[in-house]
Amino acid sequence: DVALLLLEPGEVDVGLLRVRMTNVVKSASGAVAETHREQAATRLLLTTDWMVEAKVKHGQQVLDRYNLTTTLLPKSEACYFSLASYYDFLLDARGKELREQQQGGGGREDERALAEDALYQTYLRQTIESYATACTTASSTSSRACRACSR
Q: What is the pLDDT of residues 96-132, one digit of tens each?
A: 998 888 776 667 777 888 889 999 999 999 999 999 9
Query: Is the separation of the CB atoms in 95 and 128 below 8 Å?
Result: no
Q: Which residues contact 136 (CB under 8 A, 6 or more apart)?
A: none
Helices 60-72 and 14-27 cross at an angle (nearest 10°) of 20
Q: Which residue, among 33, 40, 89, 35, has the nearest Cα to 68 in the 3D structure?
A: 40
Which band of pLDDT confidence, cut at 50, 70 and 90, is reported for residue 78? very high
- Predicted confidence (pLDDT) at residue 43 exceeds the cutoff of 60: yes
pTM above 0.75, yes or no: yes
- Predicted confidence (pLDDT) at residue 29 exceeds the cutoff of 70: no
- Please report, for residues 16, 27, 40, 116, the alpha-carbon distance to residue 12 in angstroms, rounded to integers and kept in the order given: 7, 20, 12, 37
Enumerate helices (H) and strands (E) in the chain, giving the number of each: 8, 0
**More confidently predicted of 151 and 138:** 138
